[in-house]
């Protein structure tokens, strides 16, 4: 063990830091998916496409504004702005035109509708941004690197992945929990989730709650994509892998659970990046192995309760 | 539709396929693919009867296709390869079915999607075994011991596909009319009632799942024998989406529906897909949405399990 650690310790350290950064991104997307499902009871398969569109838009906006010459915080602001734009435009559009028609329908039908939307959006990306990888890493370069002390060594790691990504993820988690528990709008969302009819009866506009929640979910997906865009090139197909990965997180945590999603994202993010360094071929398997193992033991997910699992 | 009329329609359909293949040789390839996809779509339709939709059935198609590609060198005869691929795929279907039959609706659909994405990545990543995205060539095979040249081989696969399509359509019809098949609708409406009647819903769904995997496997083997080249893309989510699309498009006409849907789909695809390659999924998605939102008759008669 000691000898192994001496040889591979640095690699493990690097894997853990990488895992932390990717867990932050996974969390942002998964929590959006979870929030939307918790309130609308619709699993939005096109959620992954919103991630991809957020990433493309952020890269495009960054390039257009020349964010390489801006201060680091402004470059980060550009990413967040892109995400907000994507979510605020596409979110209401999808909710109003599509989802509103199918709330009363069977689950299978809802799945088919969001799957059809997913098919369409995947091609929209190809038509708008082409099939070549898109890369714009100004925001990450501007934040520079940070030497993480590791035993007698240092691991140079980008400050963007080390501080900015996990920081934003924590802010979103705390903000979301605070919003749902302590603000009037948040309480209204919880009320509609618990009992739509009773909530409507006491004067809550359920339609508005649905619209706001879906838009918030769309912004979170796009934010995940926008923040991921400086760390890796965006390629076609990223939407599909994102939706399955975030579904794995949500299923493992238990549908409708927000804090649980954070812990699960951390587990899956770390597991995956350790695999990248030590068993690269198994990388894609790890999230699903974790999910299958959890589901076999606890079908309702780690944090789900039996009655919330209506599936 | 009465038995008689459906049988007549199936006969007409089979004759039309043969006539078209005879009149236009290039159609043989297209029609074989269409029949194969129709068989796979029929399997997806069985699950839809139970109110479950799988976004990952192309995994079984790709699995069987790769099985054929690996085994064709050793087992050189198509009449052995087809049942072998079907059997192996059924076994995979049983293993995966034991897991996914515990879940319904969202979980069922998404778990199938996730598993198929994993399978796709594995095909892509294990380059030393599968040659990654380059895919693998399928060696020439014999039919009942006879070596066939190009045209003869094409006819052989087409006829095999037609026979298998008719066989599976009959099997699906019998199955859906049997108590086990009728129970599928029970899963959709209320599972508890099935349990009260002493039918374990999980096992009811598992039977349908294994059947659907076998059908997808047959389709995969036929496609591998036709295209003579298999790639991971056969198991990508777009291929699974295609199957769902075919079922929804052609679904209402009972067991014939998937085949009519598949032929219509393949013919349009041959003409249109090349010119709008980057917008193909966009068009499919839009049509799917239009069918679901505005042309509900077709879809709903299927989803509610009514006989057309």
Tell me if B262 is assigned to some domain: yes
Mean pLDDT of A241-269: 85
> What is the pLDDT, as a whole number, of residue A305?
66
> Tokens 């579904």 map to which residue?
A247
> What is the pLDDT, as a whole number, of residue A230?
87
Nearest-angstrom CA–CA distance, B13 and B18: 9
Q: Which residue has the higher pLDDT, A46 or A109?
A: A46
What would the two tokens of residue A176 be?
Answer: 């979301």
Tell me if B181 is assigned to some domain: yes
Mutate which of A37, A244, A256 to disrupt the B interface (most B C-beta within 10 Å)?
A244
Phi, psi of B91 (to 5 degrees): -65, -45
Q: Does B186 touch chain A (CB under 8 A)?
A: no
> What is the pLDDT, as a whole number, of residue B296?
62
Contact between residue A115 and residue B55 where contact means Cβ atoms under 8 Å apart: yes
Residues in chain A: 311
Q: Do B281 and A98 touch (CB under 8 A)?
A: no
Chain B CA closest to residue A131: B278
Chain B positions touching A126 (Cβ under 8 A) are 278-279
Whether the per-residue pLDDT at B57 is higher than 80: the answer is yes
β-strands B136-137, A153-158 pairing: unpaired
Helix (H, G, I), strand (E, B) or coil at B60: helix
pLDDT digits (tens, 9 = 90+) for A35-45: 998 888 888 98
Mutate which of A45, A119, A286 to disrupt the B interface (most B C-beta within 10 Å)?
A119
Whether the per-residue pLDDT at A309 is higher than 60: the answer is no
- Which residue, B11, B21, B40, is CA-closest to B217? B40
Mean pLDDT of B275-283: 82
Mean pLDDT, chain B, rounded, equals: 85
Mutate which of A102, A113, A115, A247 to disrupt the B interface (most B C-beta within 10 Å)?
A115
Strand partners, A157: A146
Tell me if B245 is assigned to some domain: yes
User: Which residue from A116, A127, A285 is facing B285, i.e. has the nearest CB?
Assistant: A116
Q: Percent of chain B, pLDDT > 90?
A: 29
User: What sections of B74-190 are H helices per DSSP?
Assistant: 78-100, 105-125, 127-130, 150-177, 179-189
Chain B positions touching A117 (Cβ under 8 A) are 285, 289
Nearest-angstrom CA–CA distance, B227 and B239: 15
Nearest-angstrom CA–CA distance, B299 and B289: 11
User: Which residue from A102, A111, A123 is facing B281, i.e. has the nearest CB?
Assistant: A123
What would the two tokens of residue A275 be?
Answer: 């695999």
DSSP strand E in chain B: where? Answer: 136-137, 142-143, 146-147, 229-230
Count residue pairs from A and B with Cβ separation < 8 A: 113
> What is the pLDDT, as a whole number, of residue B249?
81
Tell me if B199 is assigned to some domain: yes
> What is the pLDDT, as a whole number, of residue B87?
95
Residue B47: alpha-carbon gap to chain centroid: 12
Mean pLDDT of A132-151: 80
User: Which residue from B48, B51, B117 is facing A244, i.e. has the nearest CB?
Assistant: B117
pLDDT digits (tens, 9 = 90+) for A206-227: 889 999 999 999 999 999 999 9
pLDDT digits (tens, 9 = 90+) for B225-261: 999 899 998 988 888 988 988 888 876 557 888 888 8
What DSSP string describes A116-182? HHHHHHHHHHHHHH-SS-B---HHHHHT-EEEEEETTEEEEEEHIIIIIHHHHHHHHHHHHHHHHHH
Nearest-angstrom CA–CA distance, B95 and B102: 12
β-strands B146-147, A153-158 pairing: unpaired
Tell me if B308 is assigned to some domain: no
Q: Do A124 and B282 touch (CB under 8 A)?
A: yes
Mean pLDDT of A113-132: 90
User: What sections of chain A are H helices per DSSP?
Assistant: 2-40, 47-65, 72-97, 107-129, 138-142, 159, 165-182, 184-194, 196-201, 206-228, 238-253, 259-278, 285-297
Nearest-angstrom CA–CA distance, B217 and B88: 8
pLDDT digits (tens, 9 = 90+) for B63-107: 999 999 999 888 888 888 999 999 999 999 999 999 888 888 788
pLDDT digits (tens, 9 = 90+) for B147-173: 777 777 888 889 899 999 999 999 998
Chain A CA closest to residue B237: A240
Nearest-angstrom CA–CA distance, B104 and A82: 37
Tell me if B117 is assigned to some domain: yes
User: Which residue from B118, B241, B281 is facing A284, i.e. has the nearest CB?
Assistant: B118
Mean pLDDT of B127-146: 82
Q: Does B55 touch chain A (CB under 8 A)?
A: yes
> What is the pLDDT, as a whole number, of residue B305?
47
What would the two tokens of residue B263 be?
Answer: 């032929």
Q: Do B248 and A112 touch (CB under 8 A)?
A: yes
Whether the per-residue pLDDT at A306 is higher than 60: the answer is no
Chain B positions touching A111 (Cβ under 8 A) are 53, 55, 105-106, 109
Beta-carbon contacts of A203 under 8 Å, excluding residues fewer than 6 positions away, are: none
Lowest mean pLDDT among A74-78, A84-88, A296-300, B239-243: A296-300
Whether the per-residue pLDDT at B300 is higher than 70: the answer is no
Whether the per-residue pLDDT at B308 is higher than 70: the answer is no
Q: Does B117 touch chain A (CB under 8 A)?
A: yes
Tell me if B58 is assigned to some domain: yes
> What is the pLDDT, as a whole number, of residue A224?
94
Nearest-angstrom CA–CA distance, B213 and A309: 27
pLDDT band at A172; cut points 50, 70, 90: very high
Mean pLDDT of B40-52: 90
The vertex-B199 CA angle with B196 and B200, nearest 5°, equals 105
* Residue B81, domain extent: 3-303
Nearest-angstrom CA–CA distance, B131 and B168: 33
Mean pLDDT, chain A, rounded, equals: 86
Q: Report the number of distinct structural domains present in chain B.
A: 1
- Which residue, A248, A257, A110, is CA-closest to B112? A248
Quote the crossing angle between the two packed helices B280-294 and A107-129, to the nearest 10°: 150
What would the two tokens of residue A192 be?
Answer: 């509609």
> What is the pLDDT, as a whole number, of residue B253?
56
Mean pLDDT of A58-73: 84
């Amino acid at each position: 063990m000691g000898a192994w650690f001496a040889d591979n310790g640095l690699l493990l350290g690097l894997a853990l830091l990488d895992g932390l950064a990717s867990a932050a991104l996974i969390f942002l997307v998964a929590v959006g998916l979870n929030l939307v499902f918790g309130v609308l009871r619709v699993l939005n398969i096109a959620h992954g496409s919103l991630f991809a569109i957020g990433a493309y838009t952020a890269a495009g906006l960054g390039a257009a504004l020349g964010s390489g010459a801006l201060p680091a915080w402004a470059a980060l602001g550009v990413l967040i702005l892109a995400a907000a734009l994507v979510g605020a435009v596409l979110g209401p559009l999808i909710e109003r035109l599509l989802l509103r028609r199918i709330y009363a329908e069977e689950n299978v039908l809802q799945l088919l509708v969001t799957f059809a939307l997913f098919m369409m959006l995947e091609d929209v990306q190809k038509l708008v941004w082409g099939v070549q990888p898109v890369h714009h890493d100004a925001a990450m370069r501007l934040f520079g690197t940070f030497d993480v002390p590791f035993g007698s060594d240092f691991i140079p790691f980008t400050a963007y992945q080390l501080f900015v990504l996990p920081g934003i993820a924590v802010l979103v988690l705390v903000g979301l929990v605070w919003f749902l528990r302590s603000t009037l709008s948040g309480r209204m969302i919880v009320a509609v989730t618990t009992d739509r009819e009773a909530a409507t009866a006491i004067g809550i506009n359920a339609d508005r709650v649905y619209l706001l929640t879906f838009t918030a979910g769309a912004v979170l997906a796009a934010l995940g994509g926008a923040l991921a865009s400086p760390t890796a090139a965006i390629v076609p197909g990223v939407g599909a892998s994102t939706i399955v990965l975030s579904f794995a997180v949500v299923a493992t945590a238990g549908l409708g659970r927000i804090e649980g999603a954070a812990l699960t994202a951390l587990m899956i993010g770390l597991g995956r990046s350790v695999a990248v360094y030590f068993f690269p071929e198994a990388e894609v398997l790890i999230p699903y192995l974790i999910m299958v193992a959890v589901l076999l033991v606890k079908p309702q997910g780690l944090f789900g309760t039996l009655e919330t699992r209506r599936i | 539709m009465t038995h008689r009329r459906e049988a007549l329609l199936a006969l007409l359909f089979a004759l039309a396929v043969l006539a078209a293949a005879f009149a236009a040789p290039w159609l043989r390839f297209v029609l074989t693919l269409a029949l194969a996809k129709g068989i796979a779509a029929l399997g997806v339709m069985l699950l839809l009867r139970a109110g479950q939709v799988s976004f990952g059935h192309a995994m079984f198609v790709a699995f069987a296709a790769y099985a054929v590609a690996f085994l064709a060198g050793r087992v050189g005869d198509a009449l052995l390869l087809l049942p072998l691929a079907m059997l192996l795929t059924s076994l995979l279907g049983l293993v995966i079915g034991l897991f996914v039959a515990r879940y319904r609706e969202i979980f069922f659909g998404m778990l199938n999607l996730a598993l198929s994405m994993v399978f796709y990545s594995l095909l892509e990543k294990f380059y030393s075994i599968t040659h990654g995205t380059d895919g693998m060539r399928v060696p020439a095979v014999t039919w009942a011991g006879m070596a066939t040249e190009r045209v003869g081989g094409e006819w052989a696969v087409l006829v095999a596909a037609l026979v298998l399509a008719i066989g599976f359509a009959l099997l699906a019809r019998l199955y859906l009319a049997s108590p086990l098949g009728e129970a599928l609708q029970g899963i959709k409406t209320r599972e508890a009632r099935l349990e009260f009647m002493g039918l374990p819903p999980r096992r009811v769904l598992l039977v349908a799942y294994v059947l659907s995997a076998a059908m997808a496997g047959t389709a995969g083997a036929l496609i591998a024998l036709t295209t003579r080249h298999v790639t991971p893309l056969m198991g990508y989510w777009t291929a699974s989406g295609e199957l769902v699309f075919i079922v929804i498009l052609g679904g209402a006409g009972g067991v014939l529906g998937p085949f009519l849907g598949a032929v219509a789909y393949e013919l349009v695809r041959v003409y249109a897909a090349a010119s709008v390659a980057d917008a193909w999924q966009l068009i499919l998605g839009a049509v799917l949405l239009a069918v679901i939102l505005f042309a509900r008759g077709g879809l709903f008669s299927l989803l509610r399990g009514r006989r057309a």
